[in-house]
Amino acid sequence: MDPRSGVEPAAAARISTGISGLDEILDGGLLAGRSYLVRGGPGCGKTTLGLHFLTCGSANGEPVLLMTLAEPEAQLRDNAQRAGFDLEGVAFLDLSPDVTFFSEAQSYDIFSPAEVEREPITRKIIECLDQLKPRRVLIDSMTQFRYLANDAFQFRKQALSFLRFLATRGATVLLTSEGTRDAPDDDLRFMSDGVIELESTHDGRAIRVSKFRGSDSRTGAHTVRINNRGLTVFPRLQPDTHGHGAIGESSPSGIATLDQMLSGGLEHGTVTLITGPTGVGKTTLGVVFMKAAAARGERSVVYTFEENPEILLRRCEAMDIPIRAMIERGTLSVISVEPLQFTPDEFAHMVRFQVEDLNSRMVMVDSASGYRLSLRGEDPARYLHALCKYLSNMSVTTLLINELEAITGDFRATEIGISYIADNIIFLRYVEIEGTLHKAIGVLKKRLSDFEKSVHRMDLTPHGFEVGEPLRLHGLLHGTPESGATG
């Protein structure tokens, strides 16, 4: 039994907020019959979140109520319609001051037990609740209730009594608040069963669950977008909540020499770092693996952060890679991503759609440096680790393109400290032989099997991606071999 309300809880039943991403953060949704505070500054999306909550209940046939104390019903309905909400099944209790309030100088004390039966506004609340018996209630906003109390102590007592009053009627309640320095809402945070915080910064909007009594939830800030379809939440990726981490059989490239170097190919569920300087053929090599996957009937997706997709298509076609045919058959998607327009949470959501809804079995991120721009100064290794771990758990083969700034010189696998993420590392390199620039390929790491240690000549030709014989030279990793003879 709930000691606050004197009623039995609804066996921890979950109800949807109407926002799938928020339900995911809340481990399935809100606990029915409890009160939740939605707080944040003006324009953060508190009312929009509440409208999702109400219209979700209305769509399920539940009686729902919006109790407004500031914005008139007509204005709320107009704004909701513009945002695409259908409020046909939403009942309103408009307690906002009307035009007569100023001239009549009314004084409200709606929570005082001594005046419950006499106070007109309190009677309106009780009559509405008794008549409608709502399963969901949105109070917008509790900040206005605060101004109707005589002092802070009386407000806390009245607010707690009001929430218990709603709980006894089996309602799940969202109450919005704009906590300020002059009117802090710490008291509401203490008495609520959960606290959902919305914030807006120069980097965008975010949501976090700072309190969720009786349940687990995902910590940290998660990306929020508000558009003409309402509010969308993109949960931060938590790899361990997805998949089982099974490692599958090898996926060959279709290039005999390269597959021999890799002891058969790249295993499903592994992460491969393809690293090298600009123009050496990293992306093309990734598409070669996807061409082989398409021949097996597997679907792949390329996320290009830097290169125009049309340029990629033309370059691949010039090398006899039928990339347009792969796209037409549905075995490949090439998706251009503007990193400054997306957060890592939004990008992870895009990847999850491809993997979970479209069954993509190979994902290429081109490139790590482009992806890093979406982080706005945050550590790229942290987010790439989560993304790659998720893909591994889903048995997806991941190709991560890494561009090195140096054309030749001392060899480095990566310049941003992400080599530990990779199960496999394939490096592409420029080498100078007798005054001519050539390309070389080698395998630096393969976690699940042995690999060939030789560095091979490679070329990008009209016939495709070609891997030749080993280069019998010293100093290849520096880009300046000591002799000009090849094996």
307 has a pLDDT exceeding 60: yes
Over the range 180-189, which residues count as b (16 or more CB within 10 Å of their CB) and which as e? eeeeebebbb
Predicted local distance difference test score (pLDDT) of residue 102:
47
Average pLDDT over residues 391-417: 79
Is 406 a residue whose pLDDT tops 70? no
According to the model, what pLDDT value does residue 301 have?
98
Average pLDDT over residues 196-207: 90
Q: Which one-letter amino acid corresponds to residue 303?
A: Y
For 364-388, what is the mean pLDDT? 83
pLDDT score at 377: 63
**pLDDT top residue among 417 and 346:** 346
Report DSSP letters for 79-118, one per residue. HHHHTT---TTEEEEE-S--TTHHHHT----TT-GGGTTT
Q: Which of 6-15, 43-52, 86-95 has the lowest mean pLDDT?
A: 6-15
Residue 306 to residue 6: CA distance in whole angstroms: 60
What confidence tens digit (pLDDT) does each residue in 104-146 have?
Answer: 544 444 444 334 433 666 788 888 999 999 999 999 988 777 7
- For the chain, how big is the Rg over CA atoms in Å? 30
CATH superfamily of the 14-235 domain: P-loop containing nucleotide triphosphate hydrolases (3.40.50.300)
Give backbone dihedrals phi and psi of 129, rounded to 5 degrees, phi first. -65, -40
In angstroms, the CA 272 to CA 446 distance is 9
d(CA 373, CA 132) in angstroms, rounded, equals 51
Query: Which of these, 16, 15, 133, 18, lies nearest to 65 by C-alpha position?
Result: 133
pLDDT top residue among 361 and 340:
361
For the chain, the farthest-separated pair of C-alpha atoms sits apart, in whole angstroms, at: 102
Q: Which residues contact 160 (CB under 8 A, 6 or more apart)?
A: 4, 191
Cα angle at 176 between 49 and 153, to 5 degrees?
165
Query: How many beta carbons lie within 10 A of that of residue 468, not counting itself?
Result: 16
Q: CATH 3.40.50.300 residue ranges in the chain?
A: 14-235, 241-478
How far apart (Å, rounded) are the C-alpha atoms in residues 194 and 47? Answer: 17
Residue 141 preceded by cis peptide, ω within 30: yes
Please report the pLDDT score of residue 67 as a whole number.
93
In the prediction, which pLDDT does 270 show?
95
The separation between CA 331 and the C-alpha centre of its own chain, rounded to angstroms, equals 25
Please state the separation of Cα 393 from the chain's center in Å: 17
pLDDT at 12: 63
The reported pLDDT for the residue numbered 197 is 96
Please report, rounded to a whole number, the percentage of residues in the chain having pLDDT higher than 70: 85
pLDDT in tens, 70-94: 889 999 999 999 888 999 999 999 9
What are 459's strand-pairing partners? 466
| β 172-177/35-39 pair status | parallel
When pLDDT is averaged across residues 51-56 and rounded to a whole number, the result is 97
User: Which pLDDT score, from 0 to 100, does residue 368 have?
Assistant: 86
d(CA 79, CA 340): 29
Mean pLDDT for the chain overall: 86
CATH superfamily of 241-478: P-loop containing nucleotide triphosphate hydrolases (3.40.50.300)
The letter for the amino acid at 56 is: C
pTM for the structure as a whole = 0.84
Q: What is the mean pLDDT of residues 38-57?
A: 94
Dihedral sign for Cα 240, 243, 249, 251, please.
Answer: negative
Tell me the percentage of the chain whose pLDDT exceeds 90: 58
